């Protein structure tokens, strides 16, 4: 059987910005694959093209055999995603957000309730299930986003900086649950993160991307050998340089925008 | 079946959001009532003197249409909010037809607007409006539903082409207001200059107002058959347009 994610010479241009500049890689079924890179490297843009949210400028894509631009719903029925940016309905309760998701993915009622309880307990929101999301803190919202993404069990799970802003205990909990799904159901995991020890700990393979190009790809061991470093963090800095990158706009801007709109 | 389930949850979501927002509920009922009372009692005597009969009778179907016009267009345009708050992504990556999403949303918005039209009708009866027959209120509610579908779909269609809420004020001032004023909601079309008549003939709301007058007070300018045909055809056309533009939307 071929790889479950296949990317060949993928490109995305925004005007003169080459956000993704000709990348190729593939991910095997059941693999835990980390996509690492500094802010603005092109990670989210790549995920958006893989998940039918953006049209590629050029290149070839396959998601479980489906081309997202020709057969978007074929691709969509094979993946789940936890977005980097907020995507909950604030005017609904935690539970209602999950039920909505369950309906979109046509999960049977019994199974849906069972999984909802399990996941809300994993992310420690079970006793807040009937509260409106707008009353949640940033971290609670993040946890709910993750729980929602894990509700239907797809073939591929995309996680775009899923654990950002969460405390170590919660991150640990959540990753345990994800890895369990990976083992028991063979769900392929494709994730990005800025926590290098997280990637080192859970990923079977790692790709490092910068300025829209893949710099290197391989197991953590191979990367350490190539860079002659002791841990992934040092290897990462050796590969992408020490320069500080602009804080990525989208998330922060989005939060500001939210606040502005709320105030009206 | 998953299509029905998807349509249902999107419909339900619209209703929950509406009923949880008290300011919005009060605003969407209060504004039409204000118009009804201020204009109805303010212009009543002049209208009567000019031989137009009871102005409140004439005005009520127009004010009901106004309430539906505003509420349904706004719930359609709300897609922009979903886009800005990110929730749109959640629906757009789901393996369901774009039509199901758009259809559920539109039915939800239309249900709210229709219910609101019904409430305004009941409230207007407190202030002295008398429908010609209780039975005819049923087809009147149906007409409200058609008008609501047309303008929810139109709102969704416009929102699909917008990047953010900046264009919103323009739409209100240069589309919604003219549609309202040029619909015959406030004044009779009989005896108007032919240019004005031509404009109202191109206005979807004019047929809604006219059909409501037919079922509620028994008068009609265009004829009920033409009214209903236009409303039904336009519901389909705007739904198709809205679905098409919505399917092109990127989160
Ligand atoms: N919609 C957009 N319009 C213009 N530029 C964009 C857009 N989305 C992303 N970019 C740019 O593309 C580059 C890659 O962004 P992104 O994929 O979000 O990076 P990251 O690796 O941090 O997820 C950045 O320079 C970003 O500013
Ligand atoms: Mg990103």
Report pTM: 0.91
CB A90 to CB B90 under 8 A? no
**What pLDDT was estimated at residue B249?**
85
β-strands A58-63, A213-218: how paired? unpaired
- Tell whether ligand 1 has an atom less than 6 A from the beta carbon of residue A252: no
Predicted confidence (pLDDT) at residue A263 exceeds the cutoff of 50: no
Atom of ligand 1 at shortest range from CA of A84: 23
Indicate whether B61 pLDDT > 90.
yes
pLDDT of residue A247: 53
The string of pLDDT tens digits covering residues A51-83 is 999 999 999 999 999 999 999 999 999 999 999
Task: Tell me the nearest-neighbour CA distance from A242 into chain B, angstroms.
Answer: 33
Contact B93/A51, CB-based, under 8 Å? yes
Question: What's the pLDDT band for A262 if we cut at 50, 70, 90?
Answer: very low
Taking residues A255-259, what's their average pLDDT?
A: 49
Instruction: Map out the domains of chain B as residue ranges.
Output: 3-247
A84, pLDDT greater than 60: yes
What's the rounded Cα separation, in Å, for the pair B246 and B243? 5
Phi, then psi, of A183 in degrees rounded to 5: -75, -50
B91 vs A86: CB contact, 8 Å cut-off? no
Mean pLDDT value across residues B13-22: 94
CA distances, A217 to each of A189, A199, A205, A247, B214 (Å):
16, 13, 7, 25, 72
For residue A254, the model assigns a pLDDT of 47
SS3 at position A43: helix
Mean pLDDT value across residues A113-129: 96
pLDDT at B244: 94
DSSP string, A177-227: HHHHHHHHH--EEEEE-S-HHHHHHH-SEEEEEETTEEEEEE-HHHHHHHH
SS3 A166: coil
Q: What is the 3 state secondary structure string of A118-180?
A: HHHHHCCCHHHCCCEHHHCCHHHHHHHHHHHHCCCCCCEEEEECCCCCCCHHHHHHHHHHHHH
Least confident among A195-204, A236-245, B32-41:
A236-245
* Residue A27 φ then ψ, to 5°: -125, 130
Question: What pLDDT does residue B191 have?
Answer: 84
Nearest chain A residue to B166, by CA: A261
Distance from CA of A236 to the nearest CA of B (A): 31
Residue A198 has pLDDT above 70, yes or no: yes
Q: Average pLDDT in the B133-137 region?
A: 94
Find the mean pLDDT for residues B201-216.
Answer: 97
Q: In this predicted structure, what is the pLDDT of residue B17?
A: 94
Banded model confidence at residue B52, pLDDT cuts 50, 70, 90? confident
Average pLDDT score, chain B: 94
**Which range is least confidently modeled, B74-78, B117-121, B202-206?**
B74-78
The ipTM is 0.91
For A258, residues 6+ apart whose C-beta sits below 8 A from its C-beta are: A86, B84, B85
Return the structure tokens found at B195: 């240019």
Does ligand 1 have an atom closer than 6 angstroms to the CB of A73? no
Q: What is the C-alpha to C-alpha distance for residues A35 and A194, in angstroms, rounded to an integer?
A: 10
Give the pLDDT confidence score for residue B1 in this predicted structure.
62
How much is the average pLDDT of B215-220?
96
pLDDT for residue B172 = 84
Residue in chain A closest to B81 (alpha carbons) equals A261
């Amino acid at each position: 059987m071929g790889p479950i994610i296949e990317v060949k010479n993928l490109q995305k241009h925004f005007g003169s910005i080459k956000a993704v500049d000709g990348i190729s890689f593939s991910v095997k079924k059941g693999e835990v694959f980390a996509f690492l890179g500094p802010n603005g490297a092109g990670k989210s843009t790549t995920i958006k093209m893989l998940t039918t949210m953006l049209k590629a400028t050029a290149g070839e894509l396959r998601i479980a055999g489906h081309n997202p631009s020709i057969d978007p719903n074929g691709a969509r029925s094979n993946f789940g995603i936890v977005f980097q940016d907020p995507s909950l309905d604030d005017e609904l309760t935690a539970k209602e957000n999950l039920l909505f998701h369950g309906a979109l993915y046509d999960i049977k009622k019994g199974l849906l309730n069972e999984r909802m309880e399990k996941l809300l307990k994993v992310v420690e929101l079970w006793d807040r299930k009937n509260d409106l999301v707008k009353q949640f803190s940033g971290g609670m919202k993040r946890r709910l986003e993750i729980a929602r993404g894990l509700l239907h069990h797809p073939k591929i799970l995309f996680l775009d900086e899923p654990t950002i802003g969460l405390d170590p205990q919660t991150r640990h909990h959540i990753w345990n649950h994800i890895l369990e799904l990976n083992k028991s159901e063979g769900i392929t995991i494709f994730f990005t993160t800025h926590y290098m020890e997280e990637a080192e700990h859970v990923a079977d393979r790692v790709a490092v991307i910068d300025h829209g190009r893949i710099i290197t790809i391989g197991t953590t061991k191979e990367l350490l050998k190539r860079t002659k470093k002791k841990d992934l963090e040092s290897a990462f800095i050796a590969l992408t340089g020490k320069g500080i990158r602009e804080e990525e706009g989208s998330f922060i801007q989005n939060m500001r925008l939210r606040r502005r709109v709320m105030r009206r | 079946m998953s299509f029905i389930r998807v349509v249902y949850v999107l419909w339900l979501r619209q209703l929950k959001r509406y009923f949880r927002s008290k300011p919005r509920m009060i605003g969407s009922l209060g504004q039409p009532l204000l118009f009804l009372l201020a204009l109805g009692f303010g212009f009543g005597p002049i209208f009567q003197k000019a031989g137009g009969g009871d102005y409140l009778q004439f005005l009520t179907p127009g004010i009901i249409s106004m309430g539906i016009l505003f509420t349904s267009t706004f719930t359609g345009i709300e897609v922009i909010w979903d886009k800005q708050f990110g929730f749109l992504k959640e629906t757009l990556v789901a393996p369901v037809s774009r039509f199901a999403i758009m259809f559920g949303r539109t039915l939800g918005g239309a249900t709210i607007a229709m219910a609101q039209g019904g409430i305004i009708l009941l409230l207007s009866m407190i202030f002295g409006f008398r429908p010609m027959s209780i039975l005819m209120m049923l087809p009147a509610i149906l007409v409200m539903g058609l008008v609501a579908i047309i303008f929810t779909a139109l709102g969704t269609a416009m929102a699909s082409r917008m990047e953010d809420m900046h264009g919103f004020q323009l739409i209100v001032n240069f589309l919604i207001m003219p549609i309202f004023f040029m619909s015959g909601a406030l004044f009779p079309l009989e005896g108007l200059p032919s240019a004005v008549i031509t404009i109202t003939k191109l206005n979807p709301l004019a047929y809604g107002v006219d059909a409501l007058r037919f079922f509620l007070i028994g008068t009609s300018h265009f004829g009920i058959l033409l009214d209903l045909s236009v409303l039904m055809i336009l519901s389909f056309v705007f739904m198709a347009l809205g679905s098409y533009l919505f399917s092109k939307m990127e989160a």
